[in-house]
Structure 1
Amino acid sequence: MYLNPLKGLLLVSLLNIGEIHAASDSVHFDWFEYEGKDVAFSDPVPEGSFQNPILAGFYPDPSMCRVEDDFYMVTSTFAFWPGVPIFHSQDLVNWEQIGHVLDRPSQLDNIGDKVSESIFAPTIRHHDGVFYMITTAVQGINNFYVTATGPAGPWSDPILLPWVDGIDPSFFFDDDGRVYITHNGLPPQRESLYEGHRAVWLWEIDMESGEPIGEGKIIVNGGVDLSEEPVWIEAPHIFKRGDWYYLTCAEGGTSQNHSQVIFRAKSLGDEWIAWEENPILTQRDLSPDRPNPIDAAGHADFVQLENGDWWASFLAVRPYEGGFYGTGRETFLLPVEWTEDDWPIILPAGQEVPWTLPKPDLAPSEVSMPTTGNFSIREEFDGDELGMEWITLRTPVHDWSSLEEKAGFLSIDPLAVELSELDNPSWLCRRIQHATYSASSSLLAPAPGVEAGVALLIREDHYFFVGIQYVNDEYVVFLEKADGGEGQIVVQVPLPELKEGEALVFKIEADRSEISFKVQTEGSGELDLAENEDATILTTQKAWGFVGTMIGPYARLEATE
């Protein structure tokens, strides 16, 4: 059974993470529903066009490669597990997830990491029949890569790169067989001239030994123009077109000042020349008050089609009024145009990232689940495995979820782990992919000593947990809220008629900055638990970080004195 891959997991280690106890009575969830209702997605997509973003919700830092008629893409996952989803497409528009690159504790053990730590921007490349994924495990093993002969895996255990500092490593396989790594790293003399001063490094690597050939060197100091104090040069990718080597990087930080810039050289040993018309992609010069804005565009990767066309994937965000967004950084797609003197442009200055545009000249791909637009899903928990969109927070150390224990139900053995802890809570989650949405889930009233329901979280101290517990000989439903601190019960309502094992449904309605919670039982009908709560606590502006809001079934043991 595939439980992402939570099923069949053995106890890995309890050292340094505290003692964890599983409850003897599982919590049983019957189904889960989600429906997106964003206004920006309400118009039909014209025939022959596609919808941006191509991966809605928390899918940042996209990287892609082509292998004949197939395209593969990976994105960041930070502290969520399994790490680094991998997608397949044949048209660059419709993407089907085929696995996770980091799906074993031997590849990724991130207990103790904060939500926005752990796995940063990955890069995927293919060379001579082998796939390579290279990334950084911040607060962990740092820079490493893994390999596979098939994109769905299995992928190797990490091959460490201790001589690579910084983040965002990327491979480049040259035509002459030599292999290089670029990455964001420390500036000259390891001293920053100003906040955000970084550099792009280039190393040649011996793939047989895994060791560098000679010393690494800085090929970009600061950014396009050091005199203007550019910040956070990162996500460097080298590619070749004709007689030119191109280096494309993100610059300006991953928020509103984000951009994509381009350099080129005739050989890897030459000076890299920045294009005088940089950046080649940004939205920072546009009015934030424009309708349905797409902002923070950058962190691009390029791919060439069989017919010679070029396309770029990149991250951007979709804020609503006030600049808030809880969907995180998402994956977008645009064609690349080339100037007469061979410079690439993803989007001319002053233009908005389009919501819809003509598809690439490729045969359409079929997918089993939509990844953009307004859609609805219902998970019945009645199959042999969960979909790959279901993940958890940090590497599990217990086999705490099952689809076999009770047929037609997701069974969770609650752990004594709070959402605020830097551990693995017994919480199965999926991405929120819209600013306006509804979600609901049915579960059976749990045994005394257990709290269970639905949790929405963007950071350890920014979450909602709508749940039920048994208190003073009766069931009580409650809403727990964390807004920058410890979780607090903000409302609770008794359900005296509810008995253990009877069904109840939690319903959540979110409309941008407001979110409401309801509960429904057969005996009590539908009750308004909390109306128009502040949904902005689940946004990047309130809870700084690199992820988006996640939602799903959660159960925990009640705290004991």
Structure 2
Amino acid sequence: MIGLLFAAVLMTSTPQRTYCNPINLDYGYCPIPNFVEQGKHRATADPAIVTFRGDYYLFSTNQWGYWWSEDMLHWHFVSRKFLKPWHQVYDELCAPAPFVMGDALYVIGSTYAKDFPIWMSRNPKVDDWTEAIKEFPVGAWDPAFLLDDDGRLYLYHGSSNVYPIYGTEIDPKTLKPIGEHKELIKLHDDLHGWERFGEHNDNTFLKPFIEGAWTTKHNGKYYLQYGAPGTEFSGYGDGVYVSDKPLGPFHYQDHNPLSYKPGGFARGAGHGATYQDKFGNWWHTSTIGICVKNNFERRIGNLAGGVRQRRRDALRHRVRRLPHDATGRSGEGGRVRGLDAP
């Protein structure tokens, strides 16, 4: 009995440093009526994590707010509605795109309209946001931004089984587009089996979708990531192209997919975002499918990564069910995929 009490005291006094995917959050309930016909359920997807002033900020679909954390273990929710009364949509927000520029955190959600504001905050630990621009003039679904080392800002977006991922430069002062609106990448499911639609990648009844763009710059290379072939499938993953320039031309990486988890109760690792923690370790947050009450019943995963020096630099993400060490010191093995520059 004394031994059990001692063990319990020891366990409660040991700081938490690990977690399992999907990460433990108070997920919001799905707001879309035809998605809850088999029962109400919690759901989110399309996560992005950015670091701001030494803390981590997590945004994802349909949460009526966002989370922040000091350590990627304990997440604090900030309730916030970003939509205006005239935005007659269920999503609050859908596939939000956060980015840091200067001394502020910015965010916008997905929209095909041109009346969505970009919001900014210098104190995002509380609901303290102002409009950086009242109407962002680019209708962008699944948007993502990259602030380059030279101060130039780029937008990447697209979610379709017809159209590609697009990119354009954005003026960092006016937040309006400048230059050419370019087609960047599209799926080649005739060559890449993992991009084919369906639970068995057999392209049944629909063409595959490309979505969830996210661009990471590392060692002078631009890594354009994308999700495919469909969020409801076990094989939902992220792929990556690489370029010497922020708007291409981009080249497919032959070790794709970048993140991939087709097995287990919580499956999938698509539509994510790559980021560095405050210690310089690489991570990739992604969408995980549960799909019990609806095909779009999803959660968030956070996958450990690392940069390994070989003949080529490689940014790799561990995709596993085992506990992840949020300090990045576990040294655990596991299946690895990653960004790989030629």
> Using the alignment, how far apart are the partners of 1:245 and 1:206 within structure 2?
19
- Post-superposition Cα deviations, 1:357-411, rounded to whole Å, max 9, x if no partner, equal 323249xxxxxxxxxxxxxxxxxxxxxxxxxxxxxxxxxxxxxxxxxxxxxxxxx
Contact 2:52 2:100 survives alignment (8 Å): yes
1:141: Cα distance to partner? 5.2
Match of 2:154 among 180, 185, 188: 180
Amino acid at match of 2:135: L
Q: Is the 2:231–2:296 contact (alpha carbons within 8 Å) kept by the matching residues of 1?
A: no
1:223 to 174, 182, 187: 187
- In structure 2, how many angstroms separate the alpha carbons of the residues matched to 1:75 and 1:269? 25
Instruction: State the partner residue of 1:200.
Output: 165
Give, in angstroms, the shift of residue 224 of structure 1: 5.5
**Is the contact made by 1:310 and 1:335 (CA closer than 8 Å) also made in structure 2?**
yes
Q: Structure 2-normalised TM-score?
A: 0.72
What is the deviation of 1:269?
4.6
46 and 90 in structure 1: CA distance in 2 versus 1, 3 angstrom threshold: closer
**Alpha-carbon distance in 1 for matches of 2:110, 2:181:** 18
Kindly tell me: are residues 67 and 315 of structure 1, through their superposed partners in 2, closer, same or farther at Cα, counting changes over 3 Å? same
Q: 2:174 is paired with a residue of what secondary structure?
A: coil
How do 1:221-260 residues align onto structure 2 when only pairs under 5 Å count?
222-223=186-187, 231-256=208-233, 257-260=235-238
The whole-number CA distance in structure 1 between the counterparts of 2:294 and 2:288 is: 11
Q: Which amino acid aligns with 1:149?
A: R
1:123 equivalent in alignment to 2:94: no
Which of these residues, 45, 49, 53, is aligned with residue 22 of structure 2? 53
Q: Supply the distance in 1 between the matched residues of 2:130 and 2:190 (Cα, whole angstroms).
A: 39
The question of whether the paired residues in 2 share the 8 Å contact of 1:183 and 1:234 is answered with yes
Q: Which residue of 1 aligns with 2:60?
A: 75
- 2:130 aligned counterpart, secondary structure: coil
Q: Residue 33 of structure 2 corresponds to which residue in structure 1?
A: none
Which position in structure 2 is the counterpart of 1:537?
A: none
1:280 paired with 2:258, answer: yes
- How far has the Cα of 1:63 moved from its partner? 0.9
Partner of 2:176: 211
CA drift of 1:259 comes to 0.9
Mapping 1:324-343, distance limit 5 Å = 324=293, 328-338=297-307, 340=310, 341-343=312-314
Shift of the 211–112 alpha-carbon distance from structure 1 to 2, 3 Å rule, reads: closer
Is 1:136 matched with 2:107?
A: no
Gaps in structure 1 of 5+ consecutive residues: 1-43, 187-195, 287-291, 363-561
Q: Distance between the aligned counterparts of 1:131 and 1:144, measured in 2? A: 14
Cross-structure match for 2:323: 356
Distance 1:277 1:108, change over 3 A: same
Q: Deviations over 1:258-285 (max 9, x none)?
A: 111111112225421111011011234x
- Contact 2:81 / 2:92 at 8 angstroms: preserved in 1? no
SS at match of 2:280: coil
Q: Distance in 1 between matches of 2:214 and 2:134?
A: 20
Does the alignment pair 1:94 with 2:58? no
Corresponding letter in the other structure for 1:124: P
Q: CA deviation at 1:242?
A: 1.4
User: 3-state DSSP class of the match of 2:22?
Assistant: coil
Change over 3 Å in CA distance of 1:48–1:73 after alignment to 2: closer
Bigger fraction of residues in strand? 1
Q: One-letter code of the match for 1:249?
A: Y
Cα displacement (A) at 1:134: 2.0
Deviation at 1:180, TM superposition (A): 0.8
Gap change, CA 1:266 and 1:100, over 3 Å in 2? same
Cα deviation digits, residues 48-81 of structure 1 (max 9, x gap): 421322135423211111124211111111xx7x
Contact 2:232/2:295 (CA < 8 Å) preserved in 1?
A: no
TM-aligned CA deviation for residue 203 of structure 1 = 0.8
Deviation at 1:238, TM superposition (A): 1.2
- Counterpart in 1 of 2:277? 305
Relative distance call for 1:294 and 1:110 in structure 2 (3 A) is farther
Q: Deviations over 1:241-269 (max 9, x none)?
A: 11211111111121114111111112225
| Equivalent residue, structure 1, for 2:290 | 318
Q: Percent identity?
A: 21
The 8 Å contact of residues 86 and 101 in structure 1, kept in 2 or not, is answered as no
CA distance in 1, matches of 2:139, 2:16: 47
116, 136, 143: which one pairs with 1:161?
Answer: 136
SS of the residue 1:343 aligns to: strand
Distance 1:233 1:283, change over 3 A: same
> In the superposition, relative to structure 1, how do residues 210 and 359 fare at CA in structure 2: closer, same or farther (>3 Å)?
closer
For residues 269 and 333 of structure 1, the distance between their equivalents in structure 2, rounded to whole angstroms, comes to 27
Distance 1:118 1:176 in 2: 33
Structure-2 separation of matches of 1:215 and 1:111? 28
**8 Å contact 1:224–1:274 — kept in the other structure?**
no
Given the two structures, how large is their TM-score scaled by the length of structure 1?
0.46
Q: C-alpha separation between the residues in 1 aligned to 2:295 and 2:49? A: 25
Deviations 1:299-328 (A, max 9, x none): 111111233210111110235xxx556992
**Distance 1:271-1:233 versus aligned 2 partners, 3 A rule:** same
Q: What is the alpha-carbon distance in structure 2 between the residues aligned to residue 214 and residue 359 of structure 1?
A: 40
Letter matched to residue 178 of structure 2: I
User: Quick check: 1:53–1:330 contact (8 Å CA) kept in 2?
Assistant: yes
Mapped pair 1:345 → 2:296 = no
Would the aligned equivalents of 1:203 and 1:212 in 2 still touch at CA under 8 Å?
Answer: yes
RMSD across aligned positions (CA): 3.1
- Give the conservation status (yes or no) of the 8 Å contact 2:159–2:212: no
Amino acid at match of 2:281: D
Contact 2:144 2:157 in 1 (8 A): yes
Q: Tell me the CA shift for residue 89 of structure 1.
A: 0.7
How many Å apart are 1:218 and its aligned residue? 1.0
- Between 1 and 2, higher relative CO (CA 8 Å, sep ≥ 6) is seen in 1
Distance 1:112 1:267 in 2: 38
- Distance in 1 (alpha carbons) for counterparts of 2:260 and 2:86: 33
Flag the 1:65–1:234 CA change in 2: closer, same or farther, 3 A. same
**Is the radius of gyration larger for structure 1 or structure 2?**
1
**Cα gap change, 1:279 to 1:143, in 2 (>3 Å):** farther
Measure, in 1, the Cα distance between the counterparts of 2:171 and 2:75: 34
User: Quick one: which amino acid aligns to residue 303 of structure 1?
Assistant: Y
